[in-house]
Structure 1
C-alpha cells in the first residue's frame, strides 16, 4: 500500500505544480474558490467522515453444480437410443437411454465359449496328470493322422510339380507359336486375330505356370507346419510315456492349470458384466442433463461417462485466491458475486470451503509456476447463473461500522513507523496529528484521534510542518 501511495503522491505533486504555475501567471487573487492564506502553501484537502469500511479480496471463479451425478457405463455395450439431451429436466428413475439387446446376447455367447474352452482345458489337464493309455492312444492316433496328412501333402506336391513341368513345356511351345505368328503377321502372311489368339495363349499358359508355382510353394509351407505339429504331438507322447523329464511335464501341467484359472476369471468377469447389463439406464437424481458423453450407436467400455446430471438450484463458485491472503481466508466469510452479461446478475454467498493446502500449477510464462488457494463459495440465490459461467468475486474479510475515516493518501509514516496526518485548523494553519490506522479499503482508512468533519491534507509531503499557513480549494469546489 505504501508503494501505491507514493505513486499517487507523485502524480498529485505534478498536478499541483501545474496548478500553482497557472495561478502565478494569472495572479492568486483571480483564482475562484481558493480559501485560506493566499501566500500560504497550496494543499489538497478532504474531510474526515463517519462511515462503514469493508476490506475485500477480489477474485474470479467458475460456477459449478454442487449436486451432480455422472452416469457411467458398467459393461462393454452399445448405446442404442438417448431419450434425453442436454438441458432436459429429469426425475429420479426416468429412463435416460437404452442399450442394444445384442450386447446381452453377445455376453451369453461369450459365456458359452468360455465353458467349452474350460472343459477342453480340464480334459487336457487330466490327460497330462494321468498319462493314461487312452491319452497315449489319442496322441498316437493324432500322430498317425498327421503322418497321413503329411503323405497326402507330399503326394499333392509331386502332382503339382508334374503339372508345373507340363505347363512350363506348354509355355515354351505357345511362346514359339507366338514368335512364328508374329513374324508371319509382320510379313502380312497372318491375320491380326491369329496373332491375338497366340498372345492370349501365352498369357493363359503363364497364369497356369504362376498358379502352379504358388500352389507348390504353399504346399511346401504346409509341410513345415505339419512337421511342427507332428513334433509337438511326438513331444506330448514322449511326455505321457515318461520319455522326457518330469520337470517339463510339471511345467505343462502348471501352464494348463493357469490357463484354467484365467478362464475362470474371464467367466466371472462376463457373469459380472451380464449381471450389470440392463436394457435401459435410469436417472439417479432429480436435475437437468448438463452433458452427454456418448453417441447413439457407439460402443462404450466399463467406466465410460455416458451422461452428467446436475441440480441447477444448488450452485457454488470454485475459485483460486492468492496465497498473500491466506491468513484472512476462512469459512463463513461473506462474498459478493457478480456476473456481467447482457443483464448483470448480482447475488451473495459465503465461503463454504477453504483448501487446507495451496496448489501449484503452470503459469502462462514458460517454466513459471503459480500458487493459489482453492476456495468454494455457496451461493444464496443462484437465479440467473448457469454452470460454467465465469463470475467476479468480492470476499469481505473484515467490516467495521460507524468509524471515522480519512482518504487513504492522507496518512504518512515517520522513521519510527508511526502514522500521522495534517489537519487544517480554523486559522488555516496545519496541525500534525499522530494517529493509529485501522481497517481500510481502496479509498478510505480508519484513523484514531480525528473527528467527523475535520479537514485533512490529502497530498501530504515531508515539506509540510505544523503551524504552516495553507490555502486550498473549497470542498464544494473539489467535489465534496
Structure 2
C-alpha cells in the first residue's frame, strides 16, 4: 500500500514536470515570434509607393458600330436564297446585300399575267361585239323611229279623212233633214205624225255625227304634233346610237394605239413589287455592322442588315442603375478591343438613355450608353466587342499606394505596412498611419508625409503586426 502511494506520487510529479515543459516551450516560441521569419511567396503581396495618375471610372462592355447606322428592311415570309455580305464588309450604294427566294412569287406573277392577257383578249372580243351590236341597234332603232314617223303621218292623214267624211255625212243628213221637215210641214193627219218622226230621227243622227266630227276635230292638232315629235325621237335615236358606236370604236382604237395600256391588277402590282424587293441593295456606302439573316432560313425580323458609317465609330453598351447616376454626357472614355491590343482609344460619352426600355425591364438589364470615338484612325472593327472605361474623375501625378494596401478607417484612421529590407535579405514590417486623398479605382492618394516614393508596401496584409520580419518577393520597381 505504501509502495503504491509512492508510485502514484512519482507519476504525478512527472506529469507536472511535463506540463511545465510544454508551457515553457510554447511561451518560448511565442516570445521569439517577433524574430521568426514568415514566408510570403507571392509577389502580389506587396507593391510600391509611386507618383501616379489616378482615375475613378465606370466600366462597361459593348460592341463597335458606325455612328450613322441605317437598318435595311427585308421580307419576313420568304427564305434567304443568297447572302452576299458579312459583318465588317465594306459596301457601296447599290451593292446587292442578299436575295430572297422569289420563285413562287414569279410563278404567281406569270399566272396573273396569263390571266390578264386572256382577259385582254376577251375584252377585245367584247369591244368588237359591242361595236357590232351598236351598229345593229342603230339600224333597228332608226327603222323603228322612221316607222313611228310614218305611223304619225298616216294617223294624221286618216284623222283628216275621217273628219272630212263625218263633215260630209253631217251635211248630207242636214240636207235630208231639211227635206224631211218640208214633207212634215206639207203633211196632215197621221201622215204628218209619221213625217215628223222621220224628221226627228234624221236630225238626231245628224247631231250625233256632228258631235263625232267636233270631237275628232279637237284631236287633229295632236295628230299634227305627233309627226314632229316622232321626227325628234328619230334624231335622238340616231344621236344615242352614234354615241354607243363611237364608245365601242374608241375602245377598239385605244387597244390599237397602246396594246399594253391595260393596267395590271393590284394583286399583280403587289406581287411584282415584292419580287423587286427580293433583291436587297445597300442604300448607302458604309460597313456592314449587323446581319440578321441566314441562307435557307426566313428572317425573324424585318431588320435584316445594318450598315454603318465607318468614318465615325460608336460603342454601345449598358451600365447598371447604380453606375448610371455617376456618369454624364461628354465624360471622357478609354476604349480597348482585340484590334487595339493594349493601346487605349480615346472617346466621349455621347448619349445616355436614362429610361427603361419597358416597364418590365429588370434592374440588372442596365441602361444604354453610347460612347463616340474621337480618333479617326482608331483601327477599330465594326461588330467587335469593346471594353470601355468612362472617366468620372482623375487626379494626376499624386503619391499613391495600391487600393488593397490601406487598412483601417473611420475613427481609428488609416494605415499601411511598410517593408524595409534588413541585412539578411528579409523585410522588417513597420506600421505607418496615413491620410487618404483622392480615391481611385486601383490606387489611393496619400497626402501625409509618413511614407515616401518607392517605399515597399504590403497588399492584403493578414495576420501582420508592427515589427514582424517577413520574406517577400517584391515586384520589379
Please say whether Structure 1 and Structure 2 have the same fold, judged by a TM-score greater than 0.5.
no
Larger radius of gyration: 2
TM-score range, shorter chain: 0.3 to 0.5
- State TM-score, norm by structure 2: 0.42
